[in-house]
Structure 1
Amino acid sequence: MKREPFFFFLFLTSQTMADGSSKMVSFISVVIPVYNGQSTIAQCLEALIRQESVELNVDYEVVVVDDGSIDSTVQIAENYPVRIVSLKKNGGRIIARKTGAEAARGDNILFVDSRVIVEPDLLSQILKINKSPMIAGDLKAKETKYNSIFHTVFYLIRKKIYGKKYFPQQDVELIIDQENFSKAPKGTTILYIEKKLFLAILPGKTDKNTNDDTRIFHKLIFEQKIKLIRHKGIRAEYKQRTELFQRGTRFADFYCKPGRRFFPFILFGFAAVILAVFLLVFLAGHSPQYLFPFFSVVFAVYFFLALYVSENIRDFLTFFCVVPLIFTIFCAGIVRYLFLMVFRRSVSQ
């Protein structure tokens, strides 16, 4: 294939923006924020530098933002024809993404998580779909459901939380707006957005515990009044994160507030745990004969919960055996967030 025709096409592509206007699409900057990503960064970069129908450093660039990694991430990235921007210390994903956006040479940015292995036609699909801002609608959740126990558990939980309409996504194109914001899955795992717009919707809170994905999209949709497109034509494989403690803290950063979708569940969950512990201590000290019925009820409730969530016996066994540990670590992250909030308020006073 000759270079001139596609290069000409690339520069003449008119991109449909969220407000309905059109803008010429030119050079695209792919930005990869990464912290201690030595286990996946090579696969991530390998897929990005071998994109079909486009030429690296002619039609697009790849910028790796190292967020103070202490492993071999930088050394691995140096083996690829990419730009590397290094931060002296780990500042968190918002700082890394902001740094990458500011360093980007293109007017349009494609953010890609370091745990993502993109399809060979990702960039050509983005140009074909020709819309912005846009996120991936197919992260191969169903195909990778049994890649690990974490893939299985999070798949089952997300399917119940978001429902069949949204997870896995049924429609080719899903428009996320103010009406379905809390119902639809969303994340910056793969995010295609205009550079100027991205910098405008960055949250003011930038510490490592910030739920940056949800805050960014909340500002986009509720403050900028711009709809987000989740498109199934944007496909990739996502290597599931396992740092549950930090995920719990980031989850609480956005949702542990009155009016948020999961706030009532957080309150109910902690109230139920406190009540169960209190009842357990009381029975152990005063009525030990009721301990067996107590544990029987707890076991039965959990048994039927696992049945409700699972799709088959394999799902049931995985969920039943693993979720107590996952739940405990995740909730510990939420408790950490609450302690941090109390500490900050006491210091400020």
Structure 2
Amino acid sequence: MTQKLHPQTLAIRGGKSQTEYLEHNQALFLTSSFMWEDAAHAEALFAKKVKGYTYTRTANPTIAAFEQRVSALEGAERSVATSTGMSAIQAAFFTFLQAGDHVVSSRNLFGTTAGFINGVVTKFGIGVSLVSQTDLAEWRAAIRENTKLLFLETPSNPLGEVADLRALAELAHEAGALLVVDNSLMSPAGQQPLALGADISVQSATKAIDGHGRVMGGVLSGSEALMNQVAMYCNSCGLAMSPFNAWTLLSGLETLAVRMEKQFANALEVAQWLQTRPQVKAVYYAGLPNHPQADLVQSQQNGGGIVIGFEVENQEQAWAVIDRVALFSRTANLGDVRSTITHPWTTTHGRMSPEDKLAADIRPGLVRLSVGLEYAGDLIDDLAQALG
């Protein structure tokens, strides 16, 4: 076929390495290294005079197939797979930053990401300024002459705050900086940051891309020039994805679009129901019609996402809800076909100081849901009995 295929088709058909056996599914190349025909062939491979594979830490056909399919969904020239979502974020920072550089980051981040930025990045002499996710004036005021990178996740985890990616991309590029966006909560089926001006889209493939809570992985997407640098960093630091994990994640990509469409719809139904409950003080979900940035959500997302935050009176009540649920899985993972529930104050954001949590609007009464593929009415019934 000569016509350009839709990304959803490429997520199923793209990037497949075909062996002499004409296997229908992508083959799993479970090998640490690859052989060469002779010494001259080895020299050509290592010098990149010819295409091929030498060592799985550098490249592997199964991992390459996964990267190519993610690129198709993200609208990227190239993607680089890593061992976890956090290793992908590490690569996004340390490929392009050195001592003396400066980063502007949203303070509304996943707890482990916030810990990495504040506790690891700063140890290497890199300055960090934290700003409001949604206040463009704060972003602008925080930029310095040595600012090299702007970073955020949108929607934010777990409060669903949405940043204007087009405006932030313009701001970053005026300053000669890169805009890096964590796309884990939406996946490429729900949002394409590169099309909105971002330089790098990074995500935890462990979440929605897998969708079944099976394996871990991360992936970065962007231009060929940027991703070539990322690939060199990941190779040098040993951040490679496992071929088995890539093979598993390929099946996740094949169903990603249809899963996200249904999970977004389920999440909206659950969020709207939560708004009617007298025990619930506030509901945070980017897909709600009364969301503070509803127009922005419609302009850059294909739905509200899968994560809902809602607040009850205090930690005691939050724990009671979590302890009473029967269908929701009590776990910190998200993006699964199985709905999950957790208490951010003591789990995902537990390592942050109380002051930092409150600054990020993470309060003791906050509960986070990741909505899966179960029948929405059953999820609502479960929450109804848990709320009492």
Same fold (TM over 0.5): no
User: Higher helix proportion, which one?
Assistant: 1
Q: TM-score, normalised by structure 2?
A: 0.24
Q: TM-score, normalised by structure 1?
A: 0.26
Larger radius of gyration: 1
